[in-house]
Structure 1
Amino acid sequence: MSKIGEYTILPISIPPTPAYPKHTTHTLYLRLHAPKIPTENDERSLFVVNVPIDSMVAHFRAVFASLTGAGRVEDVTFEHERRCAVPSREVALVGKASKKRKRGSEGTEDNGVAELPQIWDRELRRSGSTAVVLFVDAKSVKSALKAVRKLHKSSKKEKGRDGAWPIWGAGIEGKVAKLGSARYLAHQRLQYPDETVLKMNVDAFMTEFNRMEEERAKREKRMRNVPDEDGFVTVTRGGRTGPARSEEAEQKKTEMAERERKKREELQSAGFYRFQVREQRKAEQGELVRKFEEDRKRVGAMKEKRGRFRPER
């Protein structure tokens, strides 16, 4: 079976290791990348599910090189991988190689910045996670899927033997950091960096921190003499260098009062605060009824008085 739904199945052969001295097969699931927000690179990307936990870019380059030839994979983005655009003014880590990679259509770059040194020489993936493999063109994507289908046909002819599947990690020996005990030895070494490198990284961090503090102080100084919408002046640490300008404060108050008046008129015209409108109408109706009763009593008294009137003869 070469497909499950829209996914193409790609078994990979994992050779024995000291931790697990048996040959095994791992299954990858491939399909065309179709994110919720389309990008211009979707046509030349493959969405890969169930990547091995030790996956690196070099592994996928080697796998697809065995299927379509070398130089077809441009980049690989793993799930939860943090690749954020970094402002050019950030301070780079001393002793850390700067890695520049184009990110999509925006062309932003990912550079090393002032941060804590890495204490692991290789990142491990979450079990069953995903990745997006970016090829050089859409034709390479079609070629890769076609090569996988051919492998399934040849495997079926050979009665299910999996010797034709790509071998995981073949051709990249010595190009990636080792796992097992070597990984933890490297972790122990990276936890205690050289004193000179550590000092230079701390200096780089403090330089950036001082720059940010200076910018904050300048921004607070500009705010000291500028009144807000209510006519008040923000008092920052260090006091206020001068009084607020009364003309600007009065102008702000007038503008605020005008906005409040318009807002009340708009709310009333739009039918807001209906309970208040109902109460006002009830009060007006009660006033009309009261006046009507007073007029009716007045008319009755006039009629009674006119009935008792006897003109002289």
Structure 2
Amino acid sequence: MSKIGEYTILPLSLPPTTAYPVPATHTLYLRPHAPKIPTESDSRSLFIVNVPVDSTIAHFKGVFKSLIGAGRVEDVRFEHEQRNVSSQPPTQALVVMSKKEKNKKRKRGEEDPVEIDASLPQIWDRDLLRSGSTAVVVLVDEKSVESALKTVRKLHKSKSKDDRWPVWGQGVEGKAPALGSARYLSHHKMRYPDTAILQKNVDAFMTAWNHNEDEKARSAKRQRNVPDEDGFVTVTKGGRIGPARRDDVERKQAELEEREKKKREELGDFYRFQMRERRKAEQGELVKQFEEDKKRVEAMKEKRGRFRPER
């Protein structure tokens, strides 16, 4: 069986290791990438499910090299990297100055401010993925995607049992940090970085922190005397310097009342009992008008029906 639903099955040969000295097989599931929010590279990308925990870009380059040749993989985006695209890591802060601050510095003849990377030192030399995670492999063109899927289907039809599937980790030696005891030895060393490097990172982090706090204080100060659209004044930490101007508050209050009046007019008789009462009132008005018209007609008939003989 070469497919399950829309996924193409790609078994990988796992060579024996000292921890598990028995050959094994790991299965990947591939399909053309089709995210909900499309991008330019979707047509030349493959979405892969059940990625091994020790995956790196070098591993996938080795797999696709055995399938369609070298130089076909442009990039690999793993699940945890995609999740962190829109959110900045909590240990990272960038000092970004406003245009006003930049102009002041330029007038003083100072250089343009540079963004400061305040991320703390890493303590692991490589990331490990969670079991069953996903990845997106971006190839050089659409033809490479078709060729990779076609090659996998051909391997399923092949009668040869030996060396049929790509070997996981083949050719990766020296391109990715080692695992096992070497990984934890490296982790132990990285936990104690050089004092100068650590001090540089701490200084950068504190610089970014102070800048953000100053920006928050300036923003709060601007909001102290400015009423919002409902006529209320934001009370920030430190209190207000002075009361809001009365004309601003009255103007906001008038705008609020006008907005409420317009909303009531647009809403009209929204509830069922309101419509029922309105119909009763209209019906009563019609009955009243009918009775008045009836009396008027009777009066006209009575006046017109009197006969006066000529003398």
Say yes or no: TM over 0.5.
yes
The 5-angstrom pairing of residues 11-26 of structure 1 reads: 11-26=11-26
1:33-89 superposed Cα distances (whole Å, 9 cap, x missing partner): 2223333322111121222111111100111012212111011112233442589x8
CA distance in 2, matches of 1:228, 1:174: 61
CA distance in 1, matches of 2:282, 2:71: 85
Task: State the TM-score, normalizing by the size of structure 1.
Answer: 0.74
CA distance in 1, matches of 2:5, 2:277: 65
SS of 2:51 mapped into structure 1? coil
Count, aligned residues: 265
CA contact (8 A) 1:233 1:244 kept: yes
Greater CA drift, 272-281 or 168-177: 272-281
CA distance in 1, matches of 2:95, 2:200: 12
The 5-angstrom pairing of residues 23-172 of structure 1 reads: 23-81=23-81, 82-84=83-85, 90-91=94-95, 113-154=117-158, 156=159, 158=160, 161-172=161-172
The 5-angstrom pairing of residues 216-227 of structure 1 reads: 216-227=216-227
1:261-296 superposed Cα distances (whole Å, 9 cap, x missing partner): 22223333xx2244466578889999xxxxxxxxxx
CA distance in 2, matches of 1:195, 1:74: 38
Task: State the TM-score, normalizing by the size of structure 2.
Answer: 0.74
1:2-51 superposed Cα distances (whole Å, 9 cap, x missing partner): 33333222222111111111122222222212223333322111121222
Note closer, same or farther for the CA distance 1:130–1:237 as it changes in structure 2 (3 Å cut).
closer
CA distance in 2, matches of 1:283, 1:6: 65
Letter in 2 for 1:253: Q
1:199-244 superposed Cα distances (whole Å, 9 cap, x missing partner): 2111111111111111111111211221223434333333433332
SS of 1:121 mapped into structure 2? coil
Note closer, same or farther for the CA distance 1:13–1:249 as it changes in structure 2 (3 Å cut).
same
Letter in 2 for 1:12: L
Note closer, same or farther for the CA distance 1:4–1:276 as it changes in structure 2 (3 Å cut).
closer
Note closer, same or farther for the CA distance 1:153–1:283 as it changes in structure 2 (3 Å cut).
closer
Greater CA drift, 167-176 or 247-256: 247-256
CA distance in 2, matches of 1:254, 1:52: 64
CA distance in 2, matches of 1:238, 1:37: 44
SS of 1:75 mapped into structure 2? strand
CA contact (8 A) 1:12 1:27 kept: yes
CA distance in 2, matches of 1:162, 1:125: 29
SS of 1:50 mapped into structure 2? strand
SS of 1:214 mapped into structure 2? helix
CA contact (8 A) 2:28 2:49 kept: yes
Letter in 1 for 2:134: T
CA contact (8 A) 1:91 1:205 kept: no
In structure 2, list runs of 5 or more residues that go unmatched. 97-114, 285-311
In structure 1, list runs of 5 or more residues that go unmatched. 93-110, 287-313
Note closer, same or farther for the CA distance 1:167–1:91 as it changes in structure 2 (3 Å cut).
farther
Letter in 1 for 2:16: P
SS of 1:265 mapped into structure 2? helix
Note closer, same or farther for the CA distance 1:151–1:221 as it changes in structure 2 (3 Å cut).
same
CA distance in 1, matches of 2:154, 2:50: 21
Q: Residue 178 of structure 2 corresponds to which residue in structure 1? A: 178
CA distance in 2, matches of 1:167, 1:220: 59
Q: Residue 248 of structure 1 corresponds to which residue in structure 2? A: 248
CA distance in 2, matches of 1:35, 1:260: 43
